[in-house]
Amino acid sequence: MKKIVLACLLSLVACKKESNTPAGPTGPGTTGTGTGSPGTDQPPAAADAPKNPAGCNSDFAEALVADATLTEKCSPYTVKNELNIDGYALTIEPGVELRFADDTVFTVAYYKPARVLVKGTKEKPVKFTGRQWKGVQLKRDAAGSSFENVVFENAGTDDVPAFLVETYDVALSALTFTGAKKTVFKLEVDRPLKAFKEIDLSKASADPTELIHASTATAGVFAPDSKYPQKAIIWLHQGLEADLTLVAAGATYRIPEMLNVDAPEGKTASITIKEGVTIELGENVAMQFGYYRGPAGLKIQGTKEKPVTITRYGEDKAQTPSTGVQLYAGARAPEIDFLVIEYAGGTDKPALLLADNRGLGKITNSTFRHLKGEAVRVDSSKERFTAFDANTFEDVEGAALKVPLELAHGLGANNKFTDKARVTLFGELKKDTTLENIGAPYVVEGELAVNGEDTKTATLTIAAGDTLLFNTDGKLTVSYYAPAKLIAKGTAEKPITFGKLLSSWNGVGIFGKGSIELENASISGTGEDVSPLNLSEEVTGSVKKLALKDTRKGVRGCAAKVKPEGVTADNGVKAVEKCD
């Protein structure tokens, strides 16, 4: 009995614990081995706070080794050294304030799995504060942690973010940051967090351009319910192997390295970009889809009032463009509506590349501007455009669209071009194709060949008002080795024009058992020894109202069943020549 009384006299704290006096941490815990300001014994500003109730362990003098709770009764808590939560759960109740010494850090699960549950309320938020402390770090084994209604002051340094997350199994809501040195959030996870909502970053950092750095895979957590300052930047890093939706969260997304969107085997990967989103790409950086695997998808869902914008960051955008958007063999047909893409590509690179992908999909209501090269280039595809219409091409030095002849079918008539704009055609077609009058001339690279299958005819139809300009080696060949047909019927008001781009070209030839229907058209600028229109013996059809201009020869009419009518030629050239 005397021993118990003596113990009580020697340890008032312990006696109070045996009574009903409330305690702070409800269980033991651990503090780290770090120090406050390196090389000094100076305590933090919080050290001068009034003493807390006995038994609270408010300065963490007792090591924490098991589940514990920090209570408002024992607040404020002072953290003189690094506070490491390892191997247990720590709960922080409403109204608690933690005051951190300079250069200290709050780490969860550095060595062992651990969890922190911070349960502030709107009326009684939890506060993490200090003068120059290093912030919070949730390591990979901190799964199940949550922070709700928390205020963070003066966290982070030039090199350390205010809040580092390395596990997706974290819920963050109603957090407010002020006084951060540079980066507030660094999210190094491979999928979206469980929650990231109502985060107030409006006064968070001295440098809003470095506000958030995140893995691309977690970018779907950013939403309009959070608050961002002007010029806020969310940096996205690493590739994507899952589906992602980007929304306009109030900050610009910035991608500094090549972004590859490729699905793991048996899965899909895609990016859906909602209205109002702005993405800034680095120099020579591209968003690539399906380069290694597939299927990979791209959906751009802008609106007239809030288009999606893909641009280049930096001061010299025009001279150091990005590489734009690239879709390869593993890419599904894209769906692009109300996109603005600028400062992308180069003299030999398009702003938007579709190379061997499964389908061209739709590109509508989109604007291409400030481009040194082509706006859209199609190398090949299994399927044609489902829509290519109502697009605008401004300040585009290369072709507005470069596309194989067979894939140029049915382009929309509502695209807007500058006077210098053009659509470049190349290659061969084996199925019916119609070149609509889209408001810009078609420029032909090399030879266009129209050949069907052995028993099936392929028809190239050229709409009234179209202009086809051929380069030096340019030529239009129909039915050279398989049945094919050319239909080119203009009107008096909208004739069809075949001409040269810069120097002479090699004319139009209909061979084998080919067929032609040509009316209200002109052919000009063919070479010295070139027949502007060559009709071989077995060709059928009709030629009417054809004007030859700046040619050295007339129509070579060997076809017994085609009697050219209304053919005229200038410079004394005989309009129709006999067949040798």
Residue with tokens 């300065």: 59
DSSP H/E element including 17: helix 12-18
Mean of pLDDT values over 87-100: 97
DSSP state of 200: B
DSSP state of 565: B
Q: Is 12's pLDDT higher than 80?
A: no
Q: Is 393's pLDDT higher than 60?
A: yes
What is the spatial distance between Cα 16 and Cα 30, in angstroms, rounded to a whole number?
22
- Strand-pair partners of 346: 349
Position 14 confidence tier, pLDDT thresholds 50, 70, 90? very low
The letter for the amino acid at 26 is T
Question: 445: exposed, middle or buried (C-beta count within 10 Å: 0-12, 13-18, 19+)?
Answer: middle
Q: Where are the beta strands (DSSP E) in 222-345?
A: 233-237, 243-246, 252-255, 259-261, 269-274, 278-281, 286-289, 296-301, 308-312, 324-327, 335-337, 339-342
For the entire predicted model, the pTM comes to 0.88
pLDDT tens column, 75-90: 999 999 999 999 999 9
Residue 29 tokens read as: 């815990």
pLDDT tens column, 335-348: 999 999 999 999 99
Q: What's the whole-number average pLDDT of the chain?
A: 90
DSSP state of 75: P
- Any idea which of 39-43, 394-398, 404-408, 513-517 has the lowest mean pLDDT? 39-43
pLDDT at 559: 93
Q: Is 132's pLDDT higher than 70?
A: yes
pLDDT at 65: 86
What is the spatial distance between Cα 102 and Cα 42, in angstroms, rounded to a whole number?
9
* CB of 262 closer than 8 Å to CB of 287: no
Position 206 confidence tier, pLDDT thresholds 50, 70, 90? confident
What is the spatial distance between Cα 487 and Cα 266, in angstroms, rounded to a whole number?
46
High-pLDDT (> 70) share of the chain, %: 91
Position 293 confidence tier, pLDDT thresholds 50, 70, 90? confident
What is the spatial distance between Cα 252 and Cα 235, in angstroms, rounded to a whole number?
8
Mean of pLDDT values over 30-40: 39
pLDDT at 54: 62
What is the spatial distance between Cα 452 and Cα 38, in angstroms, rounded to a whole number?
80
Mean of pLDDT values over 225-242: 96
pLDDT at 53: 61
Q: Is 34's pLDDT higher than 50?
A: no
Sign of CA dihedral 155, 158, 161, 166: negative
Position 18 confidence tier, pLDDT thresholds 50, 70, 90? very low
Residue 393 tokens read as: 């091409």
Q: Is 38's pLDDT higher than 90?
A: no
Mean of pLDDT values over 281-308: 96
Position 107 confidence tier, pLDDT thresholds 50, 70, 90? very high
- Any idea which of 42-56, 143-157, 208-222 has the lowest mean pLDDT? 42-56
Residue 187 tokens read as: 């999210």
Q: Is 21's pLDDT higher than 50?
A: no
pLDDT tens column, 161-196: 999 999 999 999 999 999 999 999 999 999 999 999
What is the spatial distance between Cα 540 and Cα 515, in angstroms, rounded to a whole number?
5
Question: 319: exposed, middle or buried (C-beta count within 10 Å: 0-12, 13-18, 19+)?
Answer: exposed
